[in-house]
């Protein structure tokens, strides 16, 4: 499995980090988890064709996770591939209806939309067996675990459910939006994350979704979380590539 962190930033503009988007490729099957602003262009920088992205899985519906959907769909449409599959929590159809009204994309693109129940626990998609857990955020949504290889938290405060989801997976990509000392609701600070994952089995942890003011604290984030886990902790940057044996 090859994972590319296309965007590791937040809703606020950054000189180096785009909004959220993660490319997952296994056995020639390509998908995105979230598609924030700029992600379609970042795919090109990563050497991944927009033609290959047939499916986007949404963790939740905040704009910095969905704004790039019509850009991706229009690029595919202009290159004679007017299809896109979108999976996400309840409300995904309404979100797509609003986004795809621009440029009449709702008429030009054959959208296949699947709303996952908030009680969803497992689904099969391409070569993946996917398990879900609910996020703790201001919008409802999911963390996703792909087989025994990869867990992606989405935007969330650290939770026991997501820690359990990630237990014994090779890689966890977890948001760490703010440094310690910032009062935050629905996001993560390093000590809170470290305490939550202290007892799980994990090889590698990548911290993402950094707000601009957090970027200068990158070393601090990694050092603090490392006090609680034996996993290798990395503060992710855009275009980081992760290879996972499956």
Residue pair 84/108 in contact by the 8 Å Cβ criterion: no
Return the CATH number at 172: 3.60.15.10
Note the pLDDT of residue 146: 98
- Count how many domains the chain has: 1
Q: What is the DSSP letter of 50?
A: G
Q: What are the two backbone dihedrals, phi and then psi, of residue 65, each rounded to the nearest 5 degrees? A: -115, -10
List pLDDT tens digits, range 65-101. 999 999 999 999 999 999 999 999 999 999 999 999 9
Q: What are the two backbone dihedrals, phi and then psi, of residue 153, each rounded to the nearest 5 degrees? A: -80, -25
Residue 14 and residue 189: Cα distance in Å, rounded?
19
Domain of 192, in residue numbers: 2-243
Could you tell me if residue 128 is left (phi over 0), alpha (psi between -120 and 50 degrees) or otherwise beta?
Answer: beta
Residue pair 243/1 in contact by the 8 Å Cβ criterion: yes
Closest to 210 measured CA to CA, from 197, 193, 198, 229: 193
List pLDDT tens digits, range 140-174. 999 999 999 999 999 999 999 999 999 999 999 99
Reduced to 3 states (helix: H, G, I; strand: E, B; else coil), residue 89 is coil
pLDDT exceeds 90 at position 246: no
Q: What percent of the chain has pLDDT over 90?
A: 99
Band of residue 176 on the pLDDT scale cut at 50, 70, 90: very high
Residue 67 and residue 18: Cα distance in Å, rounded?
12
* Confidence (pTM): 0.97
Closest to 205 measured CA to CA, from 158, 136, 246: 158
Closest to 56 measured CA to CA, from 16, 13, 98, 116: 116
List pLDDT tens digits, range 14-60. 999 999 999 999 999 999 999 999 999 999 999 999 999 999 999 99
């Amino acid at each position: 499995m090859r994972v590319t962190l296309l965007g590791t930033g937040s809703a606020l503009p950054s000189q180096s980090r785009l909004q959220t988007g993660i490319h997952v490729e296994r056995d020639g099957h390509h998908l995105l988890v979230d598609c924030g602003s700029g992600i379609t262009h970042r795919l090109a920088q990563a050497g991944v064709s927009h033609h290959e992205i047939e499916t986007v899985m949404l963790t939740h519906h905040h704009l910095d996770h969905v704004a790039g959907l019509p850009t991706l769909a229009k690029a595919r449409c202009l290159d004679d591939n007017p299809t896109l599959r979108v999976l996400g929590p309840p409300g995904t159809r309404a979100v797509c209806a609003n986004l795809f009204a621009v440029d009449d994309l709702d008429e030009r693109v054959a959208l296949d939309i699947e709303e996952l129940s908030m009680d969803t626990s497992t689904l099969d998609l391409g070569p993946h067996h996917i398990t879900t857990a609910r996020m703790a955020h201001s919008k409802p949504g999911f963390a996703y675990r792909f087989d025994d290889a990869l867990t992606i938290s989405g935007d969330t405060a650290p939770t026991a459910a997501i820690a359990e989801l990630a237990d014994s997976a090779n890689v966890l990509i977890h948001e760490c939006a703010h440094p310690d000392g910032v009062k935050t609701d629905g996001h993560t600070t390093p000590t809170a994350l470290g305490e939550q994952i202290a007892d799980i089995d994990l090889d590698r942890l990548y911290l993402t979704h950094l707000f601009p003011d957090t970027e200068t604290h990158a070393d601090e984030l990694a050092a603090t979380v490392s006090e609680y886990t034996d996993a290798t902790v990395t503060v992710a940057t855009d275009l980081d590539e992760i290879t996972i044996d499956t």
